[in-house]
Structure 1
Amino acid sequence: MVRLPLTPAEVERGQRLGALLRRARGERSMLETALDARVSPETLRKIESGRVATPAFPTIAAIADVLGLSLDAVWAEINQPVHGVEPTGSGRDPGERLVS
Structure 2
Amino acid sequence: MVRLPLTPAEIERGQRLGALLRRARGERSMLETALAARVSPETLRKIETGRVATPSFPTIAAIADVLGLSLDAVWAEIHQPERGDEPIRSARDARERLAS
Matched pairs, number:
86
What does residue 25 of structure 1 align with?
A: 25
Q: Counterpart of 1:10?
A: 10
Amino acid in the other structure paired with 1:27: E
Superposition misfits of 4+ residues, deviation over 2 angstroms: 85-88
Distance in 2, matches of 1:15 and 1:86, equals: 22
Structure 1: unaligned runs, 5 residues or longer: 89-100
- 5+ residue gaps, structure 2, are 87-100
Q: Normalised by the size of structure 1, how large is the TM-score?
A: 0.81
Equivalent residue, structure 2, for 1:61: 61
Share of identical aligned residues, percent?
A: 88
Give the number of the structure whose residues are more often helix, by fraction: 2
Mapped to 1, the partners of 2:9 and 2:27 lie a distance apart of 29
Return the alpha-carbon distance in structure 1 between the equivalents of residues 51 and 2 of structure 2.
18
TM-score (norm 2): 0.81
